[in-house]
Amino acid sequence: MRVNLQPAYVIHSRPYRDSSALLDVFTAEYGRLGLVARGTRRQSRRGSGTALLQPFIPLLLSFSGRSELKTLVATERAQGECSLRKERIFCGMYMNELLVRMLHRDDAHPALFSAYDQALKALAGTGTVDTVLRRFEYQLLDELGYNFDLGADAASGQPIQPAGLYRYERGVGLVASADSIADVSGVYPGAELLAMASGEFGGSARLTAKRLLREALAEHLGEAPLRSRELFRAARAVSVQASTQAASEAISQGDLT
């Protein structure tokens, strides 16, 4: 089987043998695939176009093979730009890690591919980080059949009440909580759940959306921590330390009062 010019993104890669690479790619029509990119590291050192085989670059890939691990034949750059900067690079890494951890190979998810493509372009533009990530997380859960109704109590079937409080029950969904305050861990205000149900993942619903979707994703991610989160925390700690040191030096030199 040979497939030509399939829209795709590289979501993970690692060295393979002396000069090749094993790629995890997410494609529009074939889902998540494993590809062998032969000789790419040697060619890259010579300035070849194999430098395109990086995350966040929209690609058109041609590949062949009938086994689970297929062979990359050709690479072209697709139209569009997804250049991520600063903390948004970690956001893209986070989405890639979710795809690698949660998608089975060779399962097509065209709607999710479109959602991923739109999320990357929003991160490359002026999209609000929290809103972009929460919307993608919910679309991922929905596409994989792990979704839950944000507008109804899963136990009673009754509509979520704006003044009510709810908790997330694994494998069930949202159910009424006996707690009387929303500050209790794992308890979510009905008004903010309804905002999420209407597509609003930012504003007053921002923290509820982050907590709830993290709880829902944890059910399917297993015990291993997400590497992208660890890298982001480490980078932020280094940034804060550097900023503090620079401020201290400026004060000592009389540049700040």
- The domains of the chain are located at 2-102
Determine the angle formed by the axes of helices 87-102 and 110-124, rounding to 10 degrees: 170
Homologous superfamily of 2-102 in CATH?
Nucleic acid-binding proteins (2.40.50.140)
User: For residue 177, is it left (φ>0), alpha (ψ between -120 and 50) or beta?
Assistant: beta
d(CA 127, CA 146): 26
Report how far Cα 147 is from the mean position of its chain's Cα atoms: 16
Contact 10, 55 (CB under 8 A): yes
- Return the structure tokens found at 193: 């759940």
Query: Alpha carbon of 37 to those of 69, 146, 151, 198: distances in Å?
Result: 11, 33, 46, 43
With a cut of 70, list the residues of the chain below it in pLDDT.
41-50, 180-184, 239-257
Contact 115, 77 (CB under 8 A): no
Contact 25, 61 (CB under 8 A): yes
pLDDT 10s digits, 75-127: 999 988 788 988 899 999 999 999 999 999 999 999 999 999 999 999 999 98
The pLDDT, as a whole number, for residue 238 is 73
